[in-house]
């Protein structure tokens, strides 16, 4: 899969689907040649066209006027040596110089994929699945090596990249910026798709032209954030869901991130992604190594669905881990929107008595069971049981739940501390804070300094005390504010720029220790809804709460955006009350069920308040979901219609062998004299005859090419329809 041609100095990573080409150019600069559809042979026509250009200087100490770093397509750009575009790396030397100039040294190819130490990453199960090319570049003045790593998987259109800096000299260096990946694309018209959002409005798909200058997407909040997901896709103006090229860039990282595009003066586009340089300054002492997070690059020539499908498989099969990676995820009833903090044993008993006969499989006790937490003003950091709320305590709750043949889930917010807590009274320095300055409260809480091992240890031991004593089957790990006063009492002045990355490493450390100690617990990530929905967390927790917004209509957009980069098995979705508590919108029970059922399903409402008719609907929804759970959680997901401008959403799940499919259709606003709209399915076997639940037969090719009208949906706003098709026979 990886070759190096000594005579042309060209590296070629290739499989059946993609090729990635680079060359060692004059001056030992590592040039980017190509990333895209597989080519079997490369003759050399992408070599840098030589031309003297005004105001783009030449290599240091060279009089060769038609060769400039400023226009060369590169794999790794330096700083302050003639490439005026955004650099991939900036390192400050002891003398204050911030120049970086890495040149090719050597390469090696290894079978499989080396692990990234202390960071989440994609992996192989067998070394024959992938090969990794490690190219070493050196900045001789800094005496620093850079190992660029490229993994190609045998049957996916994916390149996984990361970079490692090694200080081989005697100077103390400071990394001010280091990307995880760089690609410089030759001239072409690009648009970029990103996933901006907000709390309760996560991952809204945005598509814009890539104009001249710098376009940047980032989070400075200490987490990947609701506000900008660590994912972008470069597409052409004619790329659709089903056709055209798409280049995905996704970081396996949960902290401050930065995705940068620069369209230069001859219309080439540079793409960089990695840890955000904002507030970042890493001390690299002699012999130290710095490892960047991983970036997952995906190529598709089958539109956005092609790209998403590759990410879905990759994240599900080679990033997520553990017992629940492929397991059926239980249907949840969560007490949060039913009770908020106001629960006691009898309320829980009532929820259980209602949930069990409906077929719901797990009860999750949300916020409020610990310390003296009766509202959100206290007790974070005190992970011992609330003295009065639950008779017999958590042990008794767990026993009652298991007696009903259900499973027990529990909420934690490990990274936080309330000023009204025993932990804060004992260790006020455990909270992030800058000496002599005020501490910013958000939701009336502070953030623990997870860059310190003793802080992470403290929380770990408190959690262990609970989890070793109470049978818990699931943990919802929440994180309900962003970082401020990013400063650590434990680090010297010249390392304060490391705190936010070290914080993220602390989160990963605690997550890893917990999943190792409790392999039978299913973990769900959460950060005020979908505020840390990223591939980094997915490495530890196979699912994540997609949004605090449970309004079915808002969820159509949130779940569509999420599906661009993340598999449906990672996205949890619950039915809640109508009118919805976040938007005030009233939707039918059916519509709420159909939207929530498109992910990892559950309920988040007071079951006792449901009418008998509604309970019957719940029973049906639960039974339907159980019957099709495998298909929804592990089948291929295809976006058919995404109504960012129109009025319809439609999506589909197809099994691997194409023998069954589920089609979900949603109509937004009701119109008088509506148009007749058609839906055509996708991803089916054209030769299979499928039967729907009414016993009607359709050819696979008929469903895909002819399709059917979307009538008759009732005359109301926000309606939905689900159809199931199973293979009857082969045509
Ligand atoms: C966050 C979560 C909610 C709930 C509350 C509890 O907002 O996203 O689901 O757990 O915290 O405080």
DSSP letters spanning 629-655: HHHHHHSEEEEEE--SSSSEEEEEEE-
Active site residues: 478, 548
pLDDT over 70 at 651, yes or no: yes
Write down the pLDDT at residue 307: 98
Mean predicted confidence (pLDDT) in 67-74? 97
pLDDT of residue 541: 98
Residues 207-256: tens digit of each pLDDT: 999 999 999 999 999 999 999 999 999 999 999 999 999 999 999 999 99
pLDDT bucket at 712, cuts 50 / 70 / 90: low
Is the Cβ atom of 604 under 6 angstroms away from ligand 1?
no
548 lines ligand 1 (CB under 6 A): yes
Residue 518 token pair: 């409790």
* Predicted confidence band of residue 711 (pLDDT cuts 50, 70, 90): confident
Q: Is 526 in the pocket of ligand 1 (CB under 6 A)?
A: yes
- The rounded distance, in Å, linking the Cα atoms of 203 and 195 is 4
DSSP readout, 15-77? -SSEEEEEEEEGGGEEEEEEEEE--S---STTSPPP---TT----TT---TT--TTTS-BSS-
The mean predicted confidence, pLDDT, of the chain is 97
Indicate whether 299 pLDDT > 70.
yes
Q: What is the pLDDT of residues 573-613, one digit of tens each?
A: 999 999 999 999 999 999 999 999 999 999 999 999 999 99
Ligand 1: atom nearest CA of 526 is 8
Q: pLDDT band for position 128 (50/70/90)? A: very high
Separation of first and last alpha carbons in the chain:
38
Q: What is the per-residue pLDDT for 92?
A: 98
Same fold, 332-630 and 641-730: no
Distance 332 CA to ligand 1 centre (A): 15
CB atoms within 10 A of CB 439: 14
Q: Counting atoms of ligand 1 from 1, which one is nearest the CA of 545?
A: 8
Query: Residue 713 pLDDT more than 70?
Result: no
Distance (angstroms) between ligand 1 centre and the Cα of 300 equals: 36
How close is the Cα of 460 to the center of ligand 1, in Å? 21
Q: Which atom of ligand 1 is nearest to the CA of 527?
A: 8
- Residue 584 CB-half CA count within 13 A: 0
In 3D space, the residue among 398, 410, 413 whose CA is nearest the CA of residue 459 turns out to be 413
What is the CA(282)–ligand 1 centre distance, in A?
34
Q: Is the C-beta atom of 412 inside 6 A of ligand 1?
A: no
User: Is the shortest distance between the CB of 336 and ligand 1 below 6 Å?
Assistant: yes
Q: Enumerate residues 6+ apart whose C-beta is below 8 A from 373.
A: 341, 367, 379, 380, 386
Give the confidence band of 337 by pLDDT, cuts at 50, 70, 90. Answer: confident
Ligand 1, residues 526, 546, 576: which to mutate, most atoms within 8 A of Cβ? 526
Give residue limits of the domains in the chain. 332-630, 641-730
Quick check: CB of 367 below 6 Å from ligand 1? yes
CA of 340 to the centre of ligand 1 (A): 9
CA distance 654 to 684: 7
- Position 674 scores a pLDDT of 87
Q: Is the CB of 277 under 6 A from ligand 1?
A: no
Ligand 1 probe mutation, 200, 365, 366, most atoms within 8 A of CB: 366
Residue 480 in contact with ligand 1 by CB distance below 6 A: yes
Is residue 704 very low, low, confident or very high in pLDDT (cuts 50, 70, 90)? very high
Q: Give per-residue pLDDT as tens, 474-483.
A: 999 999 999 9
Local structure of 590: helix, strand or coil: helix
∠ CA 429-430-433 to the nearest 5 degrees?
60
Listed in order, strand segments (DSSP E) in 504-553 are: 522-525, 543-545
pLDDT at 148 over 70: yes
**Mean local confidence (pLDDT), 675-683:** 94
Q: Whose CA is nearest to atom 2 of ligand 1?
A: 528
Gap from CA of 642 to ligand 1 centroid (Å): 28
CB of 366 shorter than 6 A to ligand 1 = yes
Q: Which residue puts its alpha carbon closest to atom 7 of ligand 1?
A: 528
526 CA distance to ligand 1 centroid (A)?
8
Fold assignment, 641-730: Immunoglobulin-like (2.60.40)
Q: Is 529 in the pocket of ligand 1 (CB under 6 A)?
A: yes
Is 551 touching ligand 1 by the criterion CB < 6 Å? no
At the top level of CATH, the class of 332-630 is alpha beta
Rounded to whole angstroms, the Cα distance separating 412 from 35 reads: 43
Nearest ligand 1 atom to alpha carbon 366: 10
Ligand 1 pocket test target in 411, 532, 582 with most atoms within 8 Å of CB: 411
């Amino acid at each position: 899969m990886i070759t190096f041609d000594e005579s042309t100095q060209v590296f070629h990573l290739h499989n059946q689907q993609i090729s990635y080409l680079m060359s060692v150019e004059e001056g030992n600069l590592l040039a980017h040649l190509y990333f895209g559809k597989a080519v079997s042979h490369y003759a050399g026509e992408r070599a840098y066209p030589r031309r003297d250009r005004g105001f783009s200087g030449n290599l240091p100490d060279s009089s060769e006027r038609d060769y400039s770093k400023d226009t060369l397509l590169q794999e790794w750009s330096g700083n302050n040596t003639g490439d005026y575009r955004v650099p991939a790396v900036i390192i400050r030397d002891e003398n204050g110089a911030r120049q970086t100039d890495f040149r090719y040294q050597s390469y090696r190819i290894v079978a499989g994929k080396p692990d990234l130490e202390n960071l989440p990453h994609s992996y192989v199960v067998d070394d024959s699945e992938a090969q990794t090319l490690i190219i070493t570049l050196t900045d001789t003045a800094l005496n620093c090596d850079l190992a660029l790593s490229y993994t190609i998987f045998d049957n996916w259109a994916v390149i996984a990249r990361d970079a490692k800096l090694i200080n081989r000299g005697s100077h103390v260096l400071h990394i001010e910026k280091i990307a995880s990946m760089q690609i410089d694309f030759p001239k072409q018209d690009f648009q970029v798709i990103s996933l901006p959002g907000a709390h309760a409005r996560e991952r809204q798909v945005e598509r814009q032209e890539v104009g001249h200058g710098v376009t940047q997407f980032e989070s400075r909040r200490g987490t990947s954030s609701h506000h900008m997901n660590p994912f972008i896709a470069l597409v052409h103006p004619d790329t659709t869901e089903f056709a055209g090229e798409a280049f995905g860039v996704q970081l396996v990282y949960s902290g401050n991130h930065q995705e940068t595009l620069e369209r230069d003066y001859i219309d080439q586009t540079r793409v960089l992604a990695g840890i955000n340089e904002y507030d970042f300054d890493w001390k690299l002492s002699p012999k130290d190594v710095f490892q960047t997070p991983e970036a997952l690059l995906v190529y598709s020539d089958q539109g956005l669905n092609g790209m998403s499908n590759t990410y879905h498989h990759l994240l599900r099969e080679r990033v997520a881990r553990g017992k629940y990676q492929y397991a059926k995820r239980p249907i949840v009833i969560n007490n949060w929107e039913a009770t908020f903090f106001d629960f006691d044993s009898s309320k829980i008993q009532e929820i259980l008595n209602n949930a069990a006969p409906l077929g719901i499989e797990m009860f999750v006790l949300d916020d409020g069971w610990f310390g003296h937490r009766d509202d959100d003003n206290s007790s974070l950091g005190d992970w011992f049981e609330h003295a009065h709320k639950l008779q017999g305590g958590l042990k008794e709750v767990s026993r009652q739940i298991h007696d009903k043949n259900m499973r027990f889930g529990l909420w934690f917010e490990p990274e936080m501390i309330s000023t009204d807590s025993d932990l804060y009274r004992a260790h006020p320095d455990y909270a992030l804070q800058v000496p002599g300055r005020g501490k910013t409260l958000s939701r009336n809480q502070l953030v623990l300094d997870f860059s310190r091992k003793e802080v992470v240890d403290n929380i770990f031991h408190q959690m262990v005390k609970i989890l070793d004593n109470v049978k818990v089957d699931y943990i919802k790990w929440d994180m309900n504010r962003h970082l401020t006063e990013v400063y650590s009492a434990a680090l010297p002045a010249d390392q304060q720029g490391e705190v936010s990355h070290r914080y993220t490493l602390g989160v990963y450390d605690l997550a890893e220790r917990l999943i190792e100690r409790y392999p039978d617990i299913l973990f769900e990530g959460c950060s005020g809804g979908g505020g840390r929905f990223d591939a980094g967390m997915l490495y530890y927790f196979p699912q994540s709460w997609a949004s605090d917004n449970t309004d079915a209509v808002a969820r159509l957009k949130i779940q569509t955006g999420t599906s661009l980069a993340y598999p449906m098995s990672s996205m949890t979705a619950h039915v809640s009350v109508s009118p919805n508590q976040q938007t005030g919108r009233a939707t039918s029970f059916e519509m709420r069920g159909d939207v929530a059922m498109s992910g990892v399903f559950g309920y988040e409402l007071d079951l006792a308040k449901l009418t008998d008719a509604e309970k019957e609907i719940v029973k049906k929804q639960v039974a339907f979901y159980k019957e099709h759970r495998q298909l929804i959680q592990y089948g291929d997901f295809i976006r058919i219609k995404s109504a960012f401008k129109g009025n319809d959403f439609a999506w589909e799940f197809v099994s691997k062998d194409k023998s069954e499919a589920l089609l979900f259709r949603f109509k937004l606003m009701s119109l008088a004299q509506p148009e007749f709209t058609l839906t055509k399915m996708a991803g089916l076997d054209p030769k299979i005859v499928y039967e729907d639940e009414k016993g009607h037969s359709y050819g696979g090719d008929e469903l895909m090419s002819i399709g059917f009208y979307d009538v008759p949906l009732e005359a109301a706003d926000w309606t939905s329809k689900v159809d199931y098709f199973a293979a009857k026979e082969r045509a």
